[in-house]
């Protein structure tokens, strides 16, 4: 039977104290709703429908950019009258001969494995609800079972008696039913309750009234079904999520010096015997080879680090490829388009962009290389910069194998330094430098006698 997924994402999130709709609040630098959608798309659903409301255009624009090729459909809930009312808005887009799974845009950690097991547990013609046991169930709808253990209804806390409030099994709100049944049952949901809202959870009692079997599946990890209503809960879920990702990295063989101090905002793949120190941030798609060492306080964004490479503390590497046996930093910035070949080295306060540093070449400190291609075993002295931009256009600098660039040199592109060339320290080079020759470009040194330093005025 075909599966529909309906994601409720219409709430404003007043307690967030933010102009951003609640489902767009970031978890691991990705909107809450994106996490739920990513999971939903793994369920092989025929249709994925998002019910939007507050900030709907903003929600649609951001999600459409993140899922440009995914078959996501949109339904507006103009008035937020409860979860039952929200699902009712999606009914016209659901085919009768299917099942419908209801998820929530502010419950981001639910796993596809959990949902697939839920889908297998609930049979055709049954109504399924995902439940969880909480030591502190305050605020949640309680699962009310009869003497045989069959779920008879879900009672929201504001409508619950003191005895019902003692129940520790609560509803996650995640529900599964045949679409044909939803079309019959939803019109029977009323707002006769303390909140004056149309509760989706009332379907459990209605299903019992129609002699439909109700199946409850218990979630083992409460974090999976924890919702987000304010910034404190958002921060808590961020840590829970990061702990899950850290566990996955360690299971893959990585050594994390402190699993509580790592942030992954994308995907990290690791080889054997990688070591990651504290306060490192990984964004996008990051790949580490074997025996890679990432020191403290580094930021790696959409990059690849070759085996046996050491990244020293406080480096930023973005959209770059670092080869094997390289050394980076400390305090180095590898900007997009950077490629370090095998055994290359960049040291402290070196910045590169659109640059290839050849095999065994090094720029040990205080250097900027932009739009540069160096050969093998090039030495770039401290304070060297490539002047690649004239205010309108950018130009390339090519440095041949074995060249030596003296400290504090300015290489004004377009420029080619020949193989084996030596550039004298303090030179400004505007023309090509011949191979295997010394090129020096300095003004004549002058000493002015009797010159006095300026003094502060009293």
Instruction: Tell me the DSSP string of 244-274.
Output: HHHHHHHHTT-EES-TTSEEEEEEEEE-TT-
Strand ranges inside 15-105, DSSP E: 26-27, 30-31, 47-52, 72-76, 98-104
Residue 339, classed as helix, strand or coil, is strand
Asked if residue 72 lies in contact with residue 3, where contact means CB atoms within 8 angstroms, the answer is no
Asked if residues 281 and 297 have their Cβ atoms less than 8 Å apart, the reply is: no
d(CA 320, CA 73): 36
Query: Count of alpha carbons within 13 Å of 305, Cβ hemisphere only?
Result: 35
- Any idea which residues carry the catalytic annotation? 365
Q: In whole angstroms, what is the distance from residue 253 CA to residue 286 CA?
A: 16
User: Quick check: 363 and 331 in contact, CB under 8 A?
Assistant: no
Using 70 as the pLDDT threshold, list the residues of the chain that sit under it. none
* Nearest alpha-carbon partner for 84 in 204, 219, 217, 2: 204
Spans of all domains in the chain: 2-225, 231-439
Cβ count near 172 (within 10 Å): 24
- How do residues 161-218 score in pLDDT, each as one tens digit? 999 999 999 999 999 999 999 999 999 999 999 889 999 999 999 999 999 999 999 9
Q: Measuring CA to CA, which residue among 401, 444, 403, 452 is closest to residue 426?
A: 444
147 neighbors 73 (Cβ within 8 angstroms): no
- Domain range 231-439, its CATH number among 1.10.3720.10, 2.160.10.10, 3.40.50.720, 3.40.225.10: 2.160.10.10
Q: Name the nearest CA neighbour of 339 among 386, 382, 373.
A: 373
d(CA 104, CA 175): 10
Q: What's the CATH code, domain 2-225?
A: 3.90.550.10
Q: Is 157 helix (H, G, I), strand (E, B) or coil?
A: helix
Helix (H) or strand (E) holding 118: helix 112-121
- For residue 324 the two structure tokens come to 């094997």
- Neighbouring C-beta atoms of residue 134, cutoff 10 Å: 15
Q: From residue 409, give the alpha-carbon distance in Å to each of 302, 367, 401.
A: 32, 10, 18
Residue pointed to by tokens 């055994």: 343
Using the structure block, give the residue that is written with the tokens 């023309």.
Answer: 431
Those residues with Cβ within 8 angstroms of residue 180's Cβ, 6 or more apart along the chain or in another chain:
96, 97
Q: Model-level pTM?
A: 0.90
Strand 47-52 relative to strand 316-318, pairing: unpaired
pLDDT (0 to 100) of residue 162: 94
Q: Structure tokens of 412?
A: 């004004």
């Amino acid at each position: 039977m075909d599966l529909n997924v309906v994601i409720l994402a219409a709430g404003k999130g007043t307690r967030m104290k933010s102009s951003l709709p609640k489902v767009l609040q970031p978890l691991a630098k990705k909107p809450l709703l994106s996490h739920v959608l990513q999971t939903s798309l793994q369920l092989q659903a025929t249709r994925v429908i998002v019910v939007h409301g507050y900030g709907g255009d903003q929600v649609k624009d951001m999600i459409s950019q993140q899922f440009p090729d995914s078959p996501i459909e949109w339904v507006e809930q103009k008035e937020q009258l409860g979860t039952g009312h929200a699902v009712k808005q999606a009914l016209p887009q659901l085919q009768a001969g299917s099942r419908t799974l209801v998820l929530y845009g502010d419950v981001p950690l639910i796993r596809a494995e959990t949902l697939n097991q839920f889908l297998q547990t609930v049979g055709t013609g049954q109504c399924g609800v995902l439940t969880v046991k909480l030591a502190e169930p305050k605020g949640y709808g309680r699962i009310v079972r009869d003497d045989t253990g069959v779920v008879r209804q879900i009672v929201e806390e504001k409508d619950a008696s003191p005895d019902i409030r003692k129940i520790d099994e609560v509803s996650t709100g995640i529900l599964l039913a045949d679409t044909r049944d939803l079309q019959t049952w939803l019109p029977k949901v009323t707002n006769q309750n303390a909140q004056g809202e149309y509760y989706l959870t009332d379907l459990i009692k209605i299903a019992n009234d129609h002699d439909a079997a109700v199946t409850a599946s218990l979630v083992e990890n409460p974090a999976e079904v924890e919702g987000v209503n304010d910034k404190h809960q958002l921060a808590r879920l961020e840590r829970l999520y990061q702990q899950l990702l850290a566990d996955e990295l360690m299971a893959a063989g990585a050594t994390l010096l402190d699993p509580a101090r790592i942030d992954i905002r994308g995907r990290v793949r690791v080889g054997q015997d990688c070591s990651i120190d504290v306060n490192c941030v990984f964004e996008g798609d990051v790949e580490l080879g074997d025996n890679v060492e990432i020191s403290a306080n580094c930021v790696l964004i959409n990059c690849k680090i070759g085996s046996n490479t050491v990244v020293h503390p406080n480096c930023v590497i973005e959209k770059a490829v670092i080869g094997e046996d390289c050394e980076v930093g400390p305090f180095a910035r590898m900007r997009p388009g950077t490629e370090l070949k095998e055994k290359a080295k960049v040291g402290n306060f070196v910045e590169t962009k659109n640059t290839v540093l050849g095999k065994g070449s090094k720029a040990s400190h205080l250097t900027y290389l932009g739009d540069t291609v160096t050969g093998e075993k090039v030495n770039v002295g401290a304070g060297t910069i490539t002047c690649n931009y004239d205010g309108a256009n950018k130009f390339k600098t090519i440095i041949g194998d074995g060249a030596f660039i003296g400290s504090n040199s300015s290489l004004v592109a377009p420029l080619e330094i020949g193989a084996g060339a030596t550039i004298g320290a303090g030179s400004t080079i505007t023309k090509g430098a011949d191979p295997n020759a010394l090129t020096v470009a300095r003004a004549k040194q002058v000493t002015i006698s009797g010159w006095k330093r300026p003094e502060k005025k009293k």
